[in-house]
Chains A and B, each alone.
Chain A
Amino acid sequence: MLSRVADNLYWMSRYLERAENTVRQLDVTMSLMLDTSDTSAEKRWQRMVASLGNPVGMEWNGDLDAMASKLIFDSLSPASVTFCVNGARENAGQVREEISSEQWQRLNRLFHQMHAPLAQVQVRTSINDLLASVVDGIHLFQGVSDTTMIHGQGWQFIRLGRYLERAYATATLLEVYQPDLFQVHEREDSGYQYLELVGLLRCCTSFEAYCQVYTADLSPGRILEFLLLNRGFPHAIRYAVDAIRRAVESIQRSGGRRTPDELTAVIGRLNAMLGYTTMGEILAGDTASFLHTIREQCMRIHELIYRYYVQYSIQSALAV
């Protein structure tokens, strides 16, 4: 397929995944602020902003409604949900002939929903409904993508975008949260610690899945283990990296070209790192740097995908 089309599909998908992540984190952060724990609203907000990659202009100013509104609607800020939805639609609009009408209609509906006057009002009256409906819209889009598109190269680039964004975002989230996780709470039996841990799991829509594996017995080590190393849960980093590997392999199979060794190596190494490490080893070592390595490798994969599939030099392509 055309490199430009692959690029558009990849970013359409990344933007939607990013929008969903931002919405979930905002939702969880706001609901944690409802409880009178010893963590201040400011600290929570800053932690959330850090886990979104510290976008500029999102510093806490004391007015939660205004801040939330900004994070959702400020279309000039690359961190906002609207910016991401606009970006996804813009990318989709450039490849109308590649995506199905159903996909386009779903995305269009989400776009119009974000731009409707009602949405601005909802921030103050029923922000939970607003956030839930955005997530719904994205899930519907992913559903029709899976059922109305040929599972060929284009679809694989959509998967690639989604899981690369997810692996990167989850690693960032864990990196930001992990110092707090192991902090010993003064009022440990008071339930606040429990709320914090549930919050982290809900940031990755993984509370229920976690309970199925470990029961509601929440411990920081197990949560990390679940979000990092679980091989069956789509929001776990290991699952996402494996999905990246499968997407790249499939792209390679459907095209005539051999996957560049370097790309195979980087993905394989990251996959192995997650597959052949125990949680004990990670915790015994430098957890933060482990998470940081994951992020770096994700960035490297992105660069290599660009170098081999999208922005390769004409000269090297002619030499093949």
Chain B
Amino acid sequence: MELETLFGDYPLDQAFDEMRERNGEVRPQYRALAETLARLPKEELQRRKQSADLSFLTQGITFTVYGRDEGTERIFPYDLLPRLVTAEEWDRIERGLTQRITALNHFLHDVYFDAKILNDRVVPRELVYSCKHYRRQMRGLQVPRNVYIAVVGSDLLRLNTGEFVVLEDNLRVPSGVSYMLTNRRVMKRTFPKLFHSYGVRPIEHYPQLLLATLRSLAPEGRPEPNIVLLTPGVFNSAYFEHTYLARQMGIDLVEGRDLVTHDNIVYMRTTDGLKRVDVIYRRVDDDFSDPLIFLSDSSLGCAGLFNAYHAGNVTVTNAFGTGLADDKAVYAYVPRIIRYYLDEEPILANVETYLLTDEKERRHVLANLDKLVVKAVGESGGYGMLIGPHSTARQREEFARQIEANPRNYIAQPTLDFSRAPCLIGNHLEPRHVDLRPYVLFGDKVNIVPGGLTRVALEKGSLVVNSSQGGGSKDTWVLEQ
């Protein structure tokens, strides 16, 4: 197939295209990929796609579609073509995220201890204390190695200038890393020679790094810590990921009902009796973790867990109350947070954000709802969101009412024309919007495996990449050079 036919009707406009320059030229790093694709007969391309899909299905890498009959399991749509990140681009992302996560960790520690940043009026006191993820229980509580956020997945976008910016920081229970790992495994089988010829940096050691991170946070005096992964259970949509990570790390996957506390020590019920638990990698939200402290009607957590944590007998990570720092209104202050603690300029910029608690900004936003994106501050997964240009007048009215009623609960951002990458749609390549979620680990030091999950908005023209809303994913190749 000729390159021309492969591209077919491939629109290029002001948005940054990952593969092609504005004049249609294929970017240097994508040339080998384009040539390989052009050489393959289209039947062969389809065959590889089917074999990749089948491989996801038989490995059981599926998520459950809710509200249907039993056994409705779908694979997370996978696009055959890799997204390439050059060594130079990656270097900047890596330094930027390291800087950002370090500063955010300082911020959490400060807010829960001396609150210097609030006293110095860099971040408004009211903003922090009105955040629904702020946990009073964490005040003055010493967390192991002062690490609050051991596992992070930040969402990056690339603007039409080609620059990467941070859209949000997921500091609670970020998910998707199992897709990053399985995408790579399938990719190596689908395009083995191409993969080899590109010199792609490996990511497969992520589970090992995660395990080392968790081990480094074990309570003092526990040289052989018993590390477990706490899952909400089989009905959680990320259950596959929980089983996958537990198996890859060789640790037990526990549910709240497997745990008991006694004298502020957490145990799990095993066939050999009670076994002490030292580190809990928690995939359960704060609210559901301990019915004695948080939501009292939750049965997903373990009664007494927080007190055991408070006593320093068990490490729970990420720490409680970290959602404070990924609140979308606090997000607007992250550049100032970085300057305050590190005395450095942010390497990765933020997206311009309007705070609706500010009278002037609120008036501007309300007058321009059709051009802006409005998000609820504490939500994730693409919920609680208004995309101005794609909204109806009724939806805008509804949001305007909600903003007036509770301005602290919303922020607004310009509708971003973020970058697009080629996807195989039918027999042709078509550009679709993509983001990038690298996974950051923070134990003894900050560690980022080179790559991440590239999420794709598979619907034509869509800006929403979340898997719950029709998104798919791609393998992400960070090149050696």
Interface residues of A (CB under 8 A from B): 1-6, 93-94, 96-97, 101, 104-105, 108, 111-112, 115, 153, 157, 251, 255-257, 309-310, 312, 314, 317-318, 320
Number of A-B contacts (CB under 8 A): 67
Within 8 A of A (CB), among B245-297: 246-247, 252-255, 257-258, 260, 262, 268-274
> Which among A97, A112, A157, A312 is the interface contact of B246 at CB below 8 angstroms?
A97
> Which among A96, A157, A309, A317 is the interface contact of B60 at CB below 8 angstroms?
A96
Chain B nearest Cβ from A220, distance in angstroms: 42
- Assembled-state Cα–Cα distance A55/B60 (Å): 34
Decide if B60 touches A3 in the complex (CB within 8 Å): no
Nearest chain A residue, comparing its CB with the CB of B247: A97
> Which among B58, B71, B239, B246 is the interface contact of A115 at CB below 8 angstroms?
B71
Chain B residues within an 8 Å CB radius of A96: 60, 239-240, 243, 247
- Assembled-state Cα–Cα distance A1/B242 (Å): 17
> Which among A93, A251, A309, A310 is the interface contact of B234 at CB below 8 angstroms?
A93
Chain A nearest Cβ from B115, distance in angstroms: 40
Nearest chain A residue, comparing its CB with the CB of B273: A317
Decide if B270 touches A1 in the complex (CB within 8 Å): yes
- Assembled-state Cα–Cα distance A214/B57 (Å): 49
Nearest chain B residue, comparing its CB with the CB of A93: B234
Chain B residues within an 8 Å CB radius of A115: 70-71
- Assembled-state Cα–Cα distance A101/B262 (Å): 36
Chain A residues within an 8 Å CB radius of B271: 1-3, 6, 153, 157, 251, 255, 309-310
With A97-B243, A314-B262: A2-B269 Cβ-Cβ less than 8 Å:
yes
Decide if B274 touches A318 in the complex (CB within 8 Å): yes
Most buried by B among A6, A96, A256, A320: A96
Chain A nearest Cβ from B189, distance in angstroms: 15
Question: B161 interface residue, CB < 8 Å from A?
Answer: no
Chain B residues within an 8 Å CB radius of A101: 59-60
Known: A5-B252, A115-B70. 12 other contacts (CB 8 A): A1-B252, A1-B271, A2-B270, A4-B255, A4-B258, A96-B60, A96-B239, A96-B247, A105-B58, A257-B273, A309-B271, A320-B273
- Assembled-state Cα–Cα distance A314/B304 (Å): 14
Chain A nearest Cβ from B257, distance in angstroms: 7
- Assembled-state Cα–Cα distance A6/B257 (Å): 14
- Assembled-state Cα–Cα distance A109/B70 (Å): 15
Chain B nearest Cβ from A188, distance in angstroms: 51
Chain A residues within an 8 Å CB radius of B252: 1-2, 5
With A97-B243, A97-B247, A97-B253: A317-B234 Cβ-Cβ less than 8 Å:
no
Chain B nearest Cβ from A13, distance in angstroms: 15
Chain A nearest Cβ from B353, distance in angstroms: 40
Chain B nearest Cβ from A253, distance in angstroms: 11
Decide if B60 touches A314 in the complex (CB within 8 Å): no
Chain B nearest Cβ from A148, distance in angstroms: 13
Chain A nearest Cβ from B75, distance in angstroms: 14
Chain A nearest Cβ from B226, distance in angstroms: 12
Chain B residues within an 8 Å CB radius of A2: 252, 254, 258, 268-271
Decide if A108 touches B258 in the complex (CB within 8 Å): no
Within 8 A of A (CB), among B225-251: 233-234, 239-240, 242-244, 246-247
Chain B residues within an 8 Å CB radius of A255: 270-272
Most buried by A among B244, B260, B271, B274: B271
Looking at chain A's contact residues, is the secondary structure mostly helix, strand, loop, or mixed? helix
Looking at chain B's contact residues, is the secondary structure mostly helix, strand, loop, or mixed? mixed
Nearest chain A residue, comparing its CB with the CB of B261: A314
- Assembled-state Cα–Cα distance A96/B229 (Å): 14
- Assembled-state Cα–Cα distance A257/B272 (Å): 6
- Assembled-state Cα–Cα distance A157/B271 (Å): 10
With A115-B71, A255-B272, A256-B272: A4-B257 Cβ-Cβ less than 8 Å:
yes
Chain A residues within an 8 Å CB radius of B257: 4
Closest 10 CB pairs of A and B: A255-B272, A96-B243, A97-B243, A3-B269, A97-B247, A309-B271, A97-B246, A317-B274, A97-B253, A317-B273
Nearest chain B residue, comparing its CB with the CB of A318: B262
- Assembled-state Cα–Cα distance A105/B268 (Å): 29
- Assembled-state Cα–Cα distance A1/B275 (Å): 10
Chain A residues within an 8 Å CB radius of B70: 115
Can you list 13 A-B pairs with a CB-CB distance of less than 8 A? A1-B252, A2-B270, A3-B269, A4-B257, A4-B269, A97-B242, A105-B60, A111-B71, A157-B271, A251-B271, A312-B273, A317-B273, A320-B273
With A97-B243, A101-B59: A3-B270 Cβ-Cβ less than 8 Å:
yes
Decide if A314 touches B260 in the complex (CB within 8 Å): yes
- Assembled-state Cα–Cα distance A5/B243 (Å): 13
Most buried by A among B240, B258, B262, B270: B270
Chain B residues within an 8 Å CB radius of A4: 255, 257-258, 269
Nearest chain A residue, comparing its CB with the CB of B249: A97
Chain A residues within an 8 Å CB radius of B253: 97
With A4-B257, A94-B234, A115-B71: A108-B60 Cβ-Cβ less than 8 Å:
yes
- Assembled-state Cα–Cα distance A108/B269 (Å): 28
- Assembled-state Cα–Cα distance A153/B272 (Å): 10
- Assembled-state Cα–Cα distance A115/B255 (Å): 29
Most buried by B among A2, A104, A108, A318: A2
Nearest chain B residue, comparing its CB with the CB of A314: B260
Chain A nearest Cβ from B211, distance in angstroms: 14
Chain A nearest Cβ from B125, distance in angstroms: 44
Chain A nearest Cβ from B272, distance in angstroms: 4
Chain A nearest Cβ from B333, distance in angstroms: 40
- Assembled-state Cα–Cα distance A1/B252 (Å): 8
Chain A residues within an 8 Å CB radius of B234: 93-94
- Assembled-state Cα–Cα distance A157/B272 (Å): 13
- Assembled-state Cα–Cα distance A3/B246 (Å): 17
Chain A residues within an 8 Å CB radius of B242: 97
Most buried by A among B233, B239, B272: B272
Most buried by A among B242, B247, B254: B247
Nearest chain A residue, comparing its CB with the CB of B59: A101
- Assembled-state Cα–Cα distance A3/B275 (Å): 11
Nearest chain A residue, comparing its CB with the CB of B253: A97
- Assembled-state Cα–Cα distance A153/B234 (Å): 22
Chain B residues within an 8 Å CB radius of A97: 242-244, 246-247, 253
- Assembled-state Cα–Cα distance A111/B258 (Å): 28
Chain A residues within an 8 Å CB radius of B247: 96-97
- Assembled-state Cα–Cα distance A310/B253 (Å): 16
Chain B residues within an 8 Å CB radius of A93: 234
Chain B residues within an 8 Å CB radius of A256: 272-273
Chain A nearest Cβ from B271, distance in angstroms: 4
Chain A residues within an 8 Å CB radius of B246: 97
- Assembled-state Cα–Cα distance A313/B70 (Å): 35
Within 8 A of A (CB), among B144-200: none
